[in-house]
A and B are shown apart, each in its own frame.
Chain A
Amino acid sequence: MIAYLIRRILYAIPILIGVNLFTFALFFVVNTPDDMARMQLGIKRVTPDAIEKWKQQHGYDKPLMLNRAASGTGKITDTIFWQKSAGMFVLEFGFSDDGRSISREIATRMGPSLAIALPTFMIGLVVYVSFALMMTLFRATVLDLAGVTLCVLLMSISGLFYIIGGQFLVSKLWHLVPISGYAGGADSIRFVVLPIIIGLVGGVGSSSRWYRTIFLDEIGKDYVRTARAKGLSELRVLFRHVLKNAMIPILTGVVVVIPLLFLGSLLTESFFGIPGLGSYTIDAINAQDFSVVRAMVFLGSLLYIVGLILTDISYTMVDPRVRLS
């Protein structure tokens, strides 16, 4: 198990280098730093001096990948690629265009993101799985059909509708919670309730339908017939046997997103004015702050890989037959 984990972690390094090379190529090879400087300073009336100054301020005045002028390891380290990427592997993300430390921003913004994403995820999991189990219990009846129809309908509605509609109804018409904003401590509940509920409603369609398919796949298997033949009640069969055996496909989809919860939700956070990582990313996209976007891309892929490893570990916990080697 330990050897397996070490191998997986070592395997993550080339992938992260690949992610870095890919985003680097995307950002700096397609467009030269000069183009970016011009973009930041405004297309018209930029003097070459201004461009040089901007590049120097933001550390883009070096060669891209290989510095022929430098000597020794400087050939590689004294380049934009090295300067901008090497730090990421020790979680040093450098500074954003307005001069703030990105690592610090990430640390402070993680809290609000989690305050929304974690409850949405946990309550969501329970609600979706129970709803799916209920549909499975009443399978091939009118209730099941109604449930599936509701799921298809809910998943055909744009996520933007839930947010805009929910904000309008709950905050504007009924004045139950503030429309947007955030406060620390116990006060935050007033601000996070609506985003959580909207997140739950938005996800119920696709998730419950997916879990229902998994349960239905299981319910046709022989061990279910054996359990019924033993005289177990349908409820017991569902909870004791089907749910347990459906754990592997469920975990495959679920565990991998747990680390990504840190990144928050782009849409929800920016609509509700939550100062989390999602809105940070959106602001960076709108302000065309490339350092922040690259940092978030790196963080995202790092967390995704952590999620994959966690998924493998969780398999061993629910299924004793799985051995990691």
Chain B
Amino acid sequence: MSFMPDILWSDKLIFLLLASLSASAWYVRRHEHLLLPWRRVAHSATAMVSLMVLSLFLLIGLLDSLHYRAALPEKNNGETVYSPDVLSVFDKLVTPLRTHTEKTYSAPLAVTLYAKESTTDAQGNVVRDYPRLQYGGAHLADEASRDGDIAQRSLIGAAVGLIAGLLIVFATKRWLQSRNWPKRPMFVAVLIITILIGAIANLASGYHVLGTDKVGQDVLYQSLKSIRTGLVIGTVTTLVTLPLALFLGIAAGYLRGWVDDVIQYVYTVLSSIPSVLLIAAAVLMMQVTIDTHPEWFDTTASRADLRLVFLCLILGVTSWTGLCRLLRGETLKLREMEYIQAAQSFGVSTLRILTRHIVPNVMHIILIALVMDFSALVLAEAVLSYVGVGVDPSMISFGTMINSARLEMGREPIVWWALAAAFTFMLVLVLAANLFADAVRDAFDPRLNRSE
């Protein structure tokens, strides 16, 4: 085989989440009363457009979660040797972005490096000038034709994107006909997204659209790679928070007595520690463990990945207490309801009451809390990486991008593009998540009075 699949821990968890998400979607589709609030979400134009943006990010993240190791050309005693570099399907798709590295900084869409260098020309004179980039604008004969070429490329790209977008719109129009969705905003969003993708993709084939960083890596590539890290942090963490909060919260609220006392004690202790300090302490400890056991990891990617999974675990352990408290309170209220008392007097077992009567009635709280937490977690990653307790420095993430770019603000002229790219991508992701979460909360929260 020319490659060997290399499934990292976070990949497994991501696909586990995707599978459970699909399973719950399938279940909800078959139950009209569960589907009803989602119909309300689907009525909202902002929610649907945000969902489309999120899906795009999710697609990039999923493609970036299929990892493999390519085979090396030379063989060892007839056995195939695999490269130590772990790549993903997404890396393969954007190979030019990944491999076209320059010497050092270059501005967005530039054809020359950021700094002057001494070169010797044909006559043997030493000239100080901005050297041309190895890849960015390399197809141009002279630098003056750059602007025209950029305009041409982006127009052609946008046109192709527009056509692709229109095709999508016409293809889905029939399918959407019977649905009561806000079609016009969605179609406009599709067109804007495809036009942007077309223009950027066409430009990226000849230029570094967002410039290059200190070691000459393409900033657009880094920004796209950061999406997966952000998504993993935002979603895998829920795998930890959800079982802890659900199980303990309901147990405390329903069983009361000493169970309640113990659980309350545990979450008061945990929540009384300032979360950044708790995360910092836990990550420091993890760092010591990882550094003293280098034999656990066969590639640097697997080490960085395990650190990421640990970070999610730690974030989960520090953030379940809020949801647990909410669930406990709600269960305390529910257990006094008549239908629960009826079930009790019929002799229904505690486990069955919990699973059949309590859990379905607290689902909306869980859902709202999870979608609200997502954006906070994505933002927290950047802060933690800055403090030095975030993801592995070798892993591309918004936090590591900001952290390395921050030190370059003092240069003259300033290197702003890496920072701007990281903040813009983060803003789009978090804003979409926030708007979607708002719509979900409005649709699911029974306290809000609705006029329909």
Binding-face segment, A13-21, A82-90, A131-139, A228-236: A13-21
Distance, CA A153 to CA B423, complexed state (A): 13
Pairwise interchain contact B281-A18, C-beta atoms closer than 8 A: no
Distance, CA A164 to CA B281, complexed state (A): 26
Known A-B contacts A31-B285, A286-B388; A38 and B292 likewise in contact (beta carbons under 8 Å): yes
Binding-face segment, A51-59, A66-74, A299-307: A299-307
Known A-B contacts A30-B285, A156-B375; A285 and B388 likewise in contact (beta carbons under 8 Å): yes
Any B CB within 8 A of the CB of A159:
yes
Any B CB within 8 A of the CB of A260:
yes
Pairwise interchain contact B281-A14, C-beta atoms closer than 8 A: no
Q: Which residue of A lies closest to B438 (CB)?
A: A152
Any A CB within 8 A of the CB of B284:
yes
Q: Which residue of A lies closest to B275 (CB)?
A: A300
Any A CB within 8 A of the CB of B419:
yes
Pairwise interchain contact A153-B278, C-beta atoms closer than 8 A: no
Chain A hits for B278, CB < 8 A? 297
Distance, CA A97 to CA B284, complexed state (A): 16
Pairwise interchain contact A26-B285, C-beta atoms closer than 8 A: yes
Any A CB within 8 A of the CB of B242:
no
- Contacting B at CB under 8 A, from A274-322, are 281-282, 285-286, 288, 290, 293-294, 296-297, 300-301, 304-305
Chain A hits for B276, CB < 8 A? 266
Q: Which residue of A lies closest to B449 (CB)?
A: A220
Q: Which residue of A lies closest to B422 (CB)?
A: A158
Known A-B contacts A156-B431, A285-B388, A285-B389; A293 and B280 likewise in contact (beta carbons under 8 Å): yes
Distance, CA A40 to CA B244, complexed state (A): 35
Chain B hits for A290, CB < 8 A? 284
Any A CB within 8 A of the CB of B288:
yes
- Contacting B at CB under 8 A, from A1-48, are 14-15, 18-19, 22-23, 26-27, 30-31, 35-36, 38-39, 43
- For the complex formed, measure the closest distance between the CB of A70 and the CB atoms of chain B, giving whole angstroms: 28
Chain A hits for B281, CB < 8 A? 23, 26-27, 293-294, 297
As a 0/1 sequence over residues 418 to 451 of chain B, the CB contacts with chain A under 8 angstroms (1 = contact) are: 0100010011001100110010000000000100
Q: Which residue of B lies closest to A293 (CB)?
A: B281
Chain B hits for A31, CB < 8 A? 285, 288-289, 292
Any B CB within 8 A of the CB of A157:
yes
Pairwise interchain contact A39-B291, C-beta atoms closer than 8 A: yes
- Contacting A at CB under 8 A, from B377-412, are 379, 382-383, 386-389, 398, 402, 406, 409
Q: Which residue of A lies closest to B378 (CB)?
A: A158
- For the complex formed, measure the closest distance between the CB of A105 and the CB atoms of chain B, giving whole angstroms: 16
Pairwise interchain contact A305-B272, C-beta atoms closer than 8 A: yes
Distance, CA A158 to CA B398, complexed state (A): 10
- For the complex formed, measure the closest distance between the CB of B371 and the CB atoms of chain A, giving whole angstroms: 14
Any B CB within 8 A of the CB of A267:
yes
Chain B hits for A192, CB < 8 A? none
Chain B hits for A164, CB < 8 A? 402, 406, 409, 419
Distance, CA A286 to CA B385, complexed state (A): 12
Pairwise interchain contact A152-B431, C-beta atoms closer than 8 A: yes
Pairwise interchain contact A300-B273, C-beta atoms closer than 8 A: yes
Known A-B contacts A15-B265, A18-B265, A31-B288; A158 and B379 likewise in contact (beta carbons under 8 Å): yes
- For the complex formed, measure the closest distance between the CB of B121 and the CB atoms of chain A, giving whole angstroms: 37
- For the complex formed, measure the closest distance between the CB of B291 and the CB atoms of chain A, giving whole angstroms: 6
Any A CB within 8 A of the CB of B78:
no
Known A-B contacts A31-B285, A159-B379, A285-B284; A19 and B269 likewise in contact (beta carbons under 8 Å): yes
Any B CB within 8 A of the CB of A201:
no
Interface residue tally of chain A, by bracket? Answer: 35 or more
Distance, CA A157 to CA B434, complexed state (A): 11
Any B CB within 8 A of the CB of A239:
no
Pairwise interchain contact A282-B387, C-beta atoms closer than 8 A: yes
Distance, CA A27 to CA B419, complexed state (A): 35
- For the complex formed, measure the closest distance between the CB of A50 and the CB atoms of chain B, giving whole angstroms: 16
- For the complex formed, measure the closest distance between the CB of A203 and the CB atoms of chain B, giving whole angstroms: 13
Pairwise interchain contact B288-A157, C-beta atoms closer than 8 A: no
Any B CB within 8 A of the CB of A223:
no
Pairwise interchain contact A19-B383, C-beta atoms closer than 8 A: no
- For the complex formed, measure the closest distance between the CB of A195 and the CB atoms of chain B, giving whole angstroms: 16
Distance, CA A22 to CA B285, complexed state (A): 13
Pairwise interchain contact B284-A157, C-beta atoms closer than 8 A: no
Best-buried of B288, B389, B409, B426 by chain A (most CB within 10 Å): B288
Any A CB within 8 A of the CB of B119:
no
Pairwise interchain contact A15-B438, C-beta atoms closer than 8 A: no
Within 8 Å by CB of B272, from A266, A267, A301, lies A301
Any B CB within 8 A of the CB of A263:
yes
Best-buried of A27, A168, A301 by chain B (most CB within 10 Å): A301
Complex A-B: 29 CB contacts under 8 Å: A15-B265, A15-B269, A15-B272, A22-B270, A26-B281, A30-B285, A39-B292, A43-B292, A152-B431, A156-B375, A157-B423, A158-B426, A158-B430, A161-B423, A260-B274, A266-B387, A267-B386, A281-B277, A288-B287, A293-B280, A293-B281, A293-B284, A294-B281, A296-B277, A301-B272, A301-B273, A301-B274, A304-B272, A304-B273
Give A residues with C-beta under 8 Å from B: 14-15, 18-19, 22-23, 26-27, 30-31, 35-36, 38-39, 43, 152-153, 155-161, 164, 167-168, 172, 220, 260, 263, 266-267, 270, 281-282, 285-286, 288, 290, 293-294, 296-297, 300-301, 304-305
Sample of 12 more A-B contacts, CB < 8 Å, known A288-B287, A301-B273: A31-B289, A31-B292, A36-B288, A39-B292, A43-B292, A156-B431, A158-B402, A158-B430, A164-B409, A167-B409, A297-B273, A300-B277
